[in-house]
Amino acid sequence: MLIGFIGRYYLYYYHRYSVQVTMELQCKIQTYDWGKLGSESTVAKLVASNDPNFVVEPSKPYAELWMGTHPNGPSLIIERDILLSEYLKNNHDAVGILVKKKFGVTIPFLLKVLSIRKALSIQAHPNRENAEKLHKEFPDLYKDPNHKPELTVALTPFEALCGFRLLTEIKEYLAKLPELTQVLPKESVSALLTNEEHGDSDRVLKKVFHELMICDKAAIANALKSFLKRLENEDAETKTFLLYDLIKRLHNDYPGDVGCWAPFFMNYLQLRPGQAIFLKANLPHAYLSGDCVECMACSDNVVRAGLTPKHIDVSTLVDMLDYSSYSIQQLLFQPQIEDGNTCIWRPPVPDFALVKIRVESSSEPYNTVVRASPSVLIVTSGAGRAADCEPLRARPGLVLFLKASRQLTLTPDEGNHLEAYQAICNV
């Protein structure tokens, strides 16, 4: 009888823990000041949808949901009550041979949802070599030695600054911004305005941008006030061209901040849901508003220079930036269609790729593509079931970890759909 009991227990354990390839995760919410408040936040709505015990506080900023193993916000496997990072130490098969060979026993990506009420800092992420150098020299400021390329996909209308504008656009703006050009060195402004892009435009732009960033704070603040006061009485066309509403909004959130001038140097992107941008190393950017899914290398490495109360490192940022000019179309990052239910964004890095899955109720249950990688998946809309060996109720906010080389079956409820984003390694 004892042997029979042991046998049944073994079979139960094997079924529940060895065969089981999908595990629900409890993930970390970050309440940064720039996050959307209360139920206005997609982060808060997703978590509340999947957890009936979660109480949304109306005045609390719910900025980010972190899904992965980064020590600043590690995910917990709910059923096992163990951190995902700890589980992997004794379950190397969950990572897969290719990922283990390339990165070790770890998940090299971090999946996030962001809900942005006001602008994040003007920033860039160093490449791996520079990240290691900054971490070694200034460990208190740069606590992460890893690079941080990242991909952003809009869930709602989404605003961002990204990459330096075409030089012709910057020159056109400066010609109509006497408030700004009067506080910058005349020689540098003249060199930029007369530059005909004969190979030295990057150097000229770097000089002007550096001088802007280190300009006297009082002079910058007064120039902003004069600019906004002048535009109050301008016609609608002029206000639109000179981005009056945007600059006024940035100034209200960060009064007198030098970063309020950044939209005249950087591309102003207004993404529709489903559009994406890839932020490679050293590309300047700042998210301004909206909700998005973000996938990145497992890092929290940021160098900032404006629109923030946090540490600003102008000299490091200015030296590392990519001063190439980009059009908006060059910055939009297109996915590849895999099948009738999935598209995938594959950036030129091995750390991560991002898959969007959508299954309609009119179709058959969908088996996800087998990946030679572990994955983290979040349901963002719809309702139904997610199953490997035992079905889970799939609703917005459900976050799952899926072992390498395994499949998940998604079945929408009748008359509904399921939409999810799945982060994987790009191997």
Residue-wise pLDDT for 336-365, tens only, equals 999 999 999 999 999 999 999 999 988 789
Q: Could you tell me if 297 and 144 are in contact, meaning their C-beta atoms sit under 8 angstroms apart?
A: no
Within-domain flag for 358 = yes
Phi, psi (rounded to 5 degrees) for 238:
-65, -40
Q: Which of 215, 243, 263 is the last residue of a domain?
A: 263
Q: What is the pLDDT along the chain (427 residues), one digit of tens a residue?
A: 444 444 444 333 434 444 556 899 999 999 999 999 999 999 999 999 999 999 999 999 999 999 999 999 999 999 999 999 999 999 999 999 999 999 999 999 999 999 999 999 999 998 888 888 888 888 877 878 887 899 999 999 999 999 999 999 999 999 999 999 999 999 999 999 988 655 578 899 999 999 999 999 999 999 999 999 999 999 999 999 999 999 999 999 999 999 999 999 999 999 999 999 999 999 999 999 999 999 999 888 788 988 888 888 888 999 999 999 999 999 999 999 999 999 999 999 999 999 999 999 887 899 999 999 999 999 999 999 998 767 899 999 999 999 999 999 999 999 999 999 999 999 9
The reply to whether 304 belongs to the active site is: yes
Within-domain flag for 211 = yes
> Of 8, 117, 249, 304, which one is the catalytic site residue?
304
Within-domain flag for 57 = no
Asked if residue 346 and residue 257 are part of one domain, the reply reads no
Query: Which domain CATH number covers 349?
Result: 2.60.120.10
Asked if residue 171 and residue 253 are part of one domain, the reply reads yes
* Residue-level pLDDT at 10: 39
Q: Which of 211, 228, 263 is the last residue of a domain?
A: 263
Calpha distance 268→261 (Å, rounded) = 12
Q: Work out how many domains the chain is built from and give that number.
A: 2
Within-domain flag for 271 = no
Query: Which domain CATH number covers 219?
Result: 1.10.441.10
Q: Where are the alpha helices (DSSP H) in 66-150?
A: 84-89, 97-103, 128-137
Asked if residue 256 and residue 345 are part of one domain, the reply reads no
The radius of gyration computed from the CA coordinates of the chain, to the nearest angstrom, equals 24
Which long-range contacts does 220-227 make (Cβ < 8 Å, 24+ apart)? 220/183, 220/256, 220/257, 220/258, 220/261, 221/255, 221/256, 223/179, 223/180, 223/182, 223/183, 224/179, 224/251, 224/256, 224/260, 224/261, 225/256, 226/179, 227/177, 227/179, 227/180
Within-domain flag for 285 = no
Closest CA relative to residue 424, chosen from 373, 380, 386, 348: 373
Q: Which of 222, 247, 263 is the last residue of a domain?
A: 263
Instruction: Give the residue numbers spanning the domain of 237.
Output: 166-263
Closest CA relative to residue 42, chosen from 318, 363, 293: 293
Sheet containing 392-394, strands listed edge to edge, beginning at the edge strand earlier in sequence? 366-367, 409-412, 384-387, 392-394
Within-domain flag for 105 = no
Calpha distance 230→402 (Å, rounded) = 56
Within-domain flag for 397 = yes
Within-domain flag for 142 = no
Distance of CA 325 to the CA centre of its chain: 22
